[in-house]
Amino acid sequence: MSTPMELFVQEMKKLLQPDEVYVMDGSQEEAQKLTELAQKSEINGLTVLKKLNGEEYPNSYYHRSNTNDVARTEHLTFVCTSTKEEAGPNNNWQDPKEAKEKMNSLMKGCMKGRTMYVIPFIMGTPKSKYSKNCIQVTDSVYVALSMRIMTRVGKQAAERIGNSSDFFRGIHSIGDVNPDRRFIMHFPQDNLVMSFGSGYGGNALLGKKCYSLRIASYLGYKEGWLAEHMIIIGVEAPDGKITYFLGAFPSACGKTNLALLEPLLKGYKVFALGDDIAWINIGDDGQLYAINPEAGMFGVAPGTGLNTNPTMIQTLKNNKFFPTLFTNVAINNADNTPWWEGLSKEKPNDLTDWQGNKYESSCEKSAAHPNSRFTVSIYNCPTLSQEYDNPKGVPISGIIFGGRRASTIPLVYEAKDWNSGVFIASTIGSETTAAASGQVGTVRRDPMAMLPFCGYNMGDYFQHWLNIGKKAKKIPKIFMVNWFRKDENGNFMWPGFRDNSRIIKWMIDRIEGKTGAKESEIGFLPEENAIDLSGLDIKKETVDKLLSIDKEAWRKEIVMVEEFYAKFGDKIPKELKDCLDVLKKKIS
Ligand code: GTP
Ligand code: SPV
Ligand code: MN
């Protein structure tokens, strides 16, 4: 008798008709074999991997994707629940039966002449009861190699699945990379994703956004936990105590940088546990505990440099076990190293740009794509927390939300309680970034940084958040930050990056009850001089402005929130409507 896993593979062979099937075992030899193969293979005319300078960047490879396939495509991403209402106005919806028919016809025979990689993987550490079993098939060796870095792939996963039929199924083909034939279809009720026509990260590495957020958020809703677009960090204060935080920021708004923060403030240390996704459960003691289901980081390259994020530069050069991949960055031809804007002050003079052309330094375009990325094992990170593999996860004392806003939102404030924190998070606005295709820089509502990733109706999701607060016995404090305020000349007003440790310190002091706060219309603001600005060259008037409330701007903000809420009709919980009414009265 075949196991459910074997049956799935047989079914996939029949549908996709690959020439060969390769089942991933996760071994070191496999990494070698696949990276060698990828250096000899082409996808749509592009060599899949090129080896980079191994002295500067050990075991590192360069990948260029199709120029039409460099970011998530939200307009081609669907949540196919049995009713449209379950998916909500936050998702594109299609009837599951029709969607499956469409995908089956696109996928029929699509792996002819190709190898089908079968990837058994675990999201989360194998011993944790919170971890989940998964299988993805793909015809992209780049995706297969990326999955080996981002998740726990191979024999241990196959063994954990065993005879069970309880595993996520991910079906992926890069197809002919044609945006007209590209769809990322989610079937939460079948624990299934079908993705065709893209080889890009969030569209193709199905363990990431597709499973660990869209499908998992749906599972969490049914089962009483949360799957969130959040980092997990432990912050050690000078007294040696470690405080664990979660942090949610929309795509390309600073999660990885905060997760790997090297604090400027003396005596503080940040330990990384996750840089993109957190699964949050209520533990036996009633506290919230978080695990990171991933095992790697798929980070934004531009802006990553020794000044901004020295820990990431070390991580990228600290290769131990897994190959590191660089996608759509530029190449410095002088020494065959990857390069991107922000890696060094001086631009190297002989660069090949992300499209493979000689880079003209006079040209206004960037040499690396703004959404160019690296894929690196989290085990390479020198500041990885000792608790990273703890099956129970870590107990959370603070949740940080943030967005990218040139105006209105102060540098930091604190919610009065859980419900008002959920309200604040449900109203987050953020300027769109290059992480998703489409216009960059327009403000859209992105509640909890989950707008593109919530696998069900966001009104129900808000209620689920409120319910978690009711159920939990010890509730974390909720903070809102904005590192991205700009002045009249368009310059950032706050230095950001390593200076953000100053704000984290204030949060720890609040959690510990060591500092008071000023009540304001929107929540608690830091008292005068409560933020440690020692050694920072910043004008008092700038700090005052960063922490002030511009009522005129807030009135406009409220209008945008009302417009957003209106889309969800009765689904917006009463508690949140009440918070909005209170805010309106205070701001008027
Ligand atoms: P995803 O991987 O898309 O989810 O992104 P992310 O949230 O992890 O964002 P990341 O940390 O990679 O940062 C995205 C961009 O924002 C990079 O270009 C960073 O250099 C920039 N950035 C991060 N933190 C700060 C900050 O404090 N201030 C400023 N000005 N820029 C920042
Ligand atoms: C994001 O866009 O939030 C990312 C990159 O982290 S992706 O894997 O493409 O979703
Ligand atoms: Mn992300």
Ligand nearest to the CA of 499: 1
Q: Residue 353 is encoded by which pair of tokens?
A: 């740009």
192-196/168-173 β-pairing: parallel
Structure tokens that stand for 94 in this block: 């299609």
Ligand 2: atom nearest CA of 205 is 8
- Planar angle of CA 489, 499, 450, nearest 5 degrees: 80
| Inter-residue contact 301 to 308 (CB < 8 Å) | no
CA–centroid distance, residue 272 to ligand 3 (Å): 15
Nearest-atom number in ligand 2 for the CA of 373 is 5
pTM of the model: 0.98
- Ligand 2 atom closest to 435 (CA): 2
Q: Which atom of ligand 1 is nearest to the CA of 304?
A: 20
Q: What percent of the chain has pLDDT over 70?
A: 100
pLDDT above 80 (res 212): yes
Structure-block tokens of residue 248 = 């949610």
Q: Is CATH 3.40.50.1580 correct for 4-40+73-223?
A: no
pLDDT at 45 over 90: no
Nearest to 448 by CA among 549, 294, 576, 546: 576
pLDDT, residue 362, reads 80
The rounded percent of the chain whose pLDDT value lies above 90 is: 98
Total residue count of the chain as it appears in this document: 588
Cα angle value 315/493/313 (rounded, 5°): 10
Rounded to whole angstroms, the Cα distance separating 316 from 392 reads 28
> How far is the centre of ligand 1, averaged over its atoms, from the C-alpha of 303 (Å)?
7
Candidates 3.30.56.10, 3.30.460.80, 3.90.228.20, 1.10.240.10; CATH matching 228-292+388-587: 3.90.228.20
H or E stretch at 259 = helix 255-259
The pLDDT assigned to 364 comes to 86
- The long-range contacts involving 33-37, CB below 8 angstroms and separated by at least 24 positions, are 34/141, 34/144, 34/145, 34/148, 35/61, 35/145, 35/323, 37/141
Contacts of 296 (CB under 8 A, 6+ apart): 149, 150, 151, 322, 375, 376, 377, 378
pLDDT, residue 226, reads 99
Of all ligands present, the nearest one to the C-alpha of 431 is 1
CA 362–ligand 3 middle distance (angstroms): 32
Tokens standing for residue 166: 């309880």
Is 295 within 8 Å of 277 (Cβ atoms)?
A: no
240: how many CB neighbours lie within 10 A of its CB?
8
List all residues whose CB is within 6 A of at least one atom of ligand 2: 72, 201-202, 208-209, 251, 276, 298, 435
Which residue's CA is the closest to the ligand 1 atom numbered 32?
254
The stretch 464-492 carries a mean pLDDT of: 98
376-416 tens-digit pLDDT: 999 999 999 999 999 999 999 999 999 999 999 999 999 99
Q: Are 383 and 460 in contact (CB under 8 A)?
A: no
pLDDT in tens, 283-332: 999 999 999 999 999 999 999 999 999 999 999 999 878 999 999 999 99
Tokens matching residue 406:
């040139």
Find the mean pLDDT for residues 188-194: 98
> Which long-range contacts (C-beta less than 8 Å, at least 24 apart) are formed by 3-10?
3/161, 3/162, 3/163, 4/163, 4/164, 4/165, 4/167, 5/120, 5/135, 5/158, 5/161, 5/167, 8/135, 8/169, 9/118, 9/137
- Residue span(s) of the chain under CATH 3.40.449.10 come to 4-40+73-223
> How many angstroms separate the CA atoms of 326 and 329, rounded?
7
What would the DSSP string read from start to end of 410-458?
-SEEE-SSHHHHHHHHHT-EEE--TTBSS-SS-EEE-GGG-TTT--S-H
Give 45: exposed, middle or buried? Use CB within 10 Å, 0-12, 13-18, 19+: exposed
Distance from the first to the final alpha carbon of the chain: 70
Q: According to the 3-state scheme, what is the secondary structure of 90-154? A: CCECCCHHHHHHHHHHHHCCCCCCCEEEEEEEEECCCCCCCCEEEEEEECCHHHHHHHHHHCEEC
Q: Tell me what pLDDT residue 320 has.
A: 76
Kindly compute the dihedral angle of the four CA atoms of residues 207, 213, 291, 511, in this order, to the nearest 10 degrees: 150
- Residue whose Cα lies nearest atom 27 of ligand 1: it is 496
44 pLDDT more than 80: no
Separation between Cα atoms, residue 175 and residue 185, nearest integer Å: 15
Residue with tokens 């003396």: 266
Kindly report, as residue ranges, where domains of CATH 2.170.8.10 are found in the chain: 42-70+297-376
Residues of the chain with CATH 3.90.228.20: 228-292+388-587
Give pLDDT tens digits for 526-573. 999 999 999 999 999 999 999 999 999 999 999 999 999 999 999 999
Query: What residues contact residue 584 under an 8 Å CB cut-off, 6+ apart?
Result: 558
Residue 495 CA to residue 481 CA, distance in Å, equals: 13
One-letter amino acid of 54: G
Q: What are the tens digits of pLDDT across the range 139-167?
A: 999 999 999 999 999 999 999 999 999 99
Angle subtended by helix axes 4-16 and 96-107, to nearest 10 = 60
Query: What is the bridge-based pairing of β-strands 429-431 and 394-395?
Result: unpaired
Range 42-70+297-376: architecture per CATH:
Beta Complex (2.170)
Q: Any catalytic annotation for residue 363?
A: no
User: Could you tell me if 523 and 586 are in contact, meaning their C-beta atoms sit under 8 angstroms apart?
Assistant: no
Q: At what angle do helices 458-471 and 574-587 cross, to 10 degrees?
A: 90
CA 229 / ligand 3 centre spacing (Å): 6
Cα atoms in the Cβ-side hemisphere of radius 13 Å centred on 134: 31
Whether the CB-CB separation of 166 and 6 falls below 8 Å is answered with no
Active-site entry in 253, 381, 454, 579: 253
